[in-house]
Structure 1
Amino acid sequence: MTPCKIRILVVDDEPQIVRALRINLNVRGYEVATAASGGEALRVAANFHPEIVLLDLGLPDIDGIDVIAGIRGWTDIPIVVLSARTDSADTVEALDAGADDFVTKPFGMDELLARLRAALRRGPQAAGEVVVVTDSFTVDLAAKTVTRRGESVHLTRTEWGVLELLARNRGKLVSQREILQAVWGPRHERETHYLRIYLGQLRQKLEDDPSHPRHLLTETGMGYRLV
């Protein structure tokens, strides 16, 4: 149960989905506003001031990517995309536009609610978090150090660059392109094999069972997330 009335804007043009979401979110203590088009979504967002947005990409007037851009023009609240599009290029485009997560239709309500809770935990209020703690290791973003079971872990500059980006976006799916641009530069955004190599090295150093990682996760064809 959500302890307070968190405002959520649901944007979808399918009435049955909106109804199901409204019922489930209301029961869990969310205050829900809805919009059935991109233009309406931007107007409602400006007046309702949601703390999180659940956004379908396939809207009847303007594309959901443009809605993300419009919202990002004035706020950094979490945006979770909900879409029937299964092409990984659509996921990457949404993430690059500023979405925080991507859930594919059809979806399970429990999974969706978990994604919403995770997005809220890492929302604007978490921006000042400088120490990221997992069950296996701790990342101190201010000191630029990593410890595992109380022992310092040596990382190369590139390994740190990858881990730092994931830690600053904990729980969020970070696209392959975003990592490559941030760590290696724009000329290397197609060199996805770099990521396989360096994530493998980080797992060897940080995960209890590198072959079955619990924290440094791969979203096949899309990107990576630290949980």
Structure 2
Amino acid sequence: RLKISRLPYYQQFLELVKEHPDAIYLDIGCCFGNDVRKAAADGYPLGNIIASDLRGDFWQLGHRLFNTTQDTFPVPFVEGDVFQDSHISSLLTLPAEHQSIDADTLSKLNSLTPLKGAISAIHASALFHLFDESHQKILARKLACLLSPRPGSMIFGVHVGRPVKGFRVEGAGLGGLGASMFCHSAESWKTLWEEKIFPPGTIHVEAEVTEMSRDDLNAPPSIKFYQLTWCIRRL
């Protein structure tokens, strides 16, 4: 299911590459590549896109689903676990300046670590809520190190949230992660990025928690589900 084009920051994302022709877009947790393909269809250059997920099987299934091959849809895919240093080094620090990466180098990557400071847009939807609070912070820190410090660079997405930070109890036992899922609120999400990831005054954070429909879980009407829609933008 498409997510990226439904986000309120999508047009700003597409404008990035018009302003900066070298703007690289990373889709982290890309699964089949639905969102990558939507961005490409809407004009984001294939040579500026890179996709990554835990397993390459997802990407190959995407080729089957969309009847493409790596030759006909030549977006580089890098397989890896975001929490492993072999994929994104935990030794990375926030970049002081933008790094330029050419398409040839991008196509030959076997990890994301060389992209420190080179990514202008990172899309991360349905990803953070898979992890506990401490691992969400680790992931945020790693993605922040990949992001270019150039003004306008952005990390954005949507995932499960709550009006109040804590563990989700709605729908426990209905086929979802239930009470085991840690969820940020809009306020705690802003605090994470503004106070624990980036230096003060270097980013603008938008975050909103809204009620969402989960008809697939057949939950009683009294049970509410929420999503956190967000964008971090470098100033």
Structure with higher RCO (Cα < 8 A, 6+ apart):
2
TM-score (norm: length of structure 2)? 0.32
TM-score by length of 1: 0.32
Identify the structure with the greater helix proportion: 1
Structure with larger Rg? 1
